[in-house]
């Protein structure tokens, strides 16, 4: 995770292209800390998040080969962290921009949706929610459904 300020713009970059910028508990905690740092810079005017490589983020770091063998407690924990991260972005006091540099799958797609603005080249990647394909269900009580319904 890299955080820097370019003039008055705060840039948070997920820099794990070898892992497709997947969201682990540690990465989501680092993103939350990055938001705290960005908010502390008094002269900051906006926040931009991006990812290195071909992925903005491939979502939660789960084993898609055997999704039914996942620890349900870890998945619930990570979904809870993702929900907190999404809520934090939705209520962030500065304008937020997701610079989607590549694929945004699952949790990475929700992360992008939580921003005020999303920018993505039409030929650079896919945005999708593959949960049904790998046998996971998105809990309706998390507010993710509302985020999908209300996004443009």
- Domain ranges in the chain are 2-150
24 contact partners, CB below 8 Å, separation of at least 6: 61, 78
What does the pLDDT average to over 60-70? 64
Contact 25, 78 (CB under 8 A): yes
**Band of pLDDT at residue 116, cut at 50, 70 and 90:** very high
Mean per-residue pLDDT of the chain: 86
**Band of pLDDT at residue 40, cut at 50, 70 and 90:** very high
- 127 compared with 104, residue with greater pLDDT: 104
**Position of tokens 């008055």?**
8
Quick check: helix, strand or coil at residue 20? coil
The CATH code that applies to domain 2-150 is: 3.90.226.10
**What gap in Å lies between CA 128 and CA 131, rounded to an integer?**
9
């Amino acid at each position: 995770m890299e955080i820097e300020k370019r003039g008055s713009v705060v840039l948070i970059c997920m820099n794990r292209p070898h892992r497709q910028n997947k969201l682990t508990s540690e990465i989501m905690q680092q993103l939350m800390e990055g938001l705290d740092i960005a908010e502390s810079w008094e002269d900051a005017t906006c926040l931009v998040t991006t990812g290195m490589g071909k992925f903005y983020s491939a979502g939660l770091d789960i084993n898609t080969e055997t999704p039914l063998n996942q620890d349900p407690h870890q998945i619930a924990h990570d979904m809870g962290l993702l929900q907190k991260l999404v809520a934090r972005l939705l209520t962030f006091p500065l304008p937020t921009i997701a610079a989607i540099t590549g694929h945004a799958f699952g949790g990475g797609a929700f992360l992008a949706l939580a921003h005020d603005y999303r920018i993505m080249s039409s030929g650079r990647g896919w945005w999708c929610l593959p949960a049904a394909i790998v046998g996971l269900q998105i809990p309706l009580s998390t507010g993710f459904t509302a985020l999908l319904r209300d996004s443009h």
